Every structure is written in C-alpha cells, then in structure tokens.
Amino acid sequence: MKKFAILNGPNLDRLGKRQPSIYGTATLRDLEKLLRTSAKQLGVRVTFFQSNHEGALIDKFGELADQGCAGVVINPGGYSHTSIALRDAISGSAIPTIEVHLSDIKKREPFRRKSMTAGACVAMISGHGFPGYVEALRQLATR
C-alpha cells in the first residue's frame, strides 16, 4: 500500500480559530479526518505532520525520502513565499509533492501571490479549501 504524507506549515494548527473569514471554521483535526477517509477510499495510507518551524519541515522531507514515501501534499503556509531552504528540501527529496493553499494566493496581498516552493512541486492547488487537499492526494495516488 502506497504511503503519502500530509505536511502543514506555520499557523495551520490554528485552523478554525485564525482568520475564519479566510480559512473557515473547520480545524486541522477535521482536515485530517477528511483525508483519512479519502485515503481509505483511494486504498493508500497517510501520515500527518504539522510544524510552525521551518527546519522541522525541512528535516521531515529528508526522513520521508529515507522512508520511501510515495508522495507529499504540503501546505507550507507563509514559508511558501519566503523559503528557498524549504524549496531545496522538496526538490532534493525527489518525492512527488503537491503544494496546497486553502485560500487563492493569487487573490491575496501582493507578497502572497508568488510561491517560492511551488516550483519544486509537481503541481499547486490554491483556493479550493479542504477539497484541495483531497484533490492533491487523489492526483498523487493515481500517478
């Protein structure tokens, strides 16, 4: 059974509380429950990791590569706009990765409209809310 990782970056542990007008009222646990159900339907396994720390996300890519992870769905949060180091970790892992954003970054503040990390990913899904994660997992599972 293929194993995929769902990684969430800074402030995503605050889903449901942080800016609900942008990110909604559902929590990270709600997202994980949805993805467990979707993974079961797709016949794959998923693991979850969230960190507010850039280095922890970078370390996780190395661990996942060493474990033979089949793919990663990542929401790098604010690091998508600033972190060349995270981009290098994604690229260096050679794991097919899809970047996801709950809101449409192209319609946000100017500094959020460009993702540095997306170029190291096989795709980016932005503005679809929680269903964007399901779409990303489906794309990876059917590659």
Residues annotated as part of the active site: 23, 101
State the Cα–Cα distance between residues 114 and 31, nearest whole angstrom. 25
Cβ 126 vs Cβ 101: under 8 Å: yes
Backbone angles phi, psi at 51, to 5 degrees: -150, 145
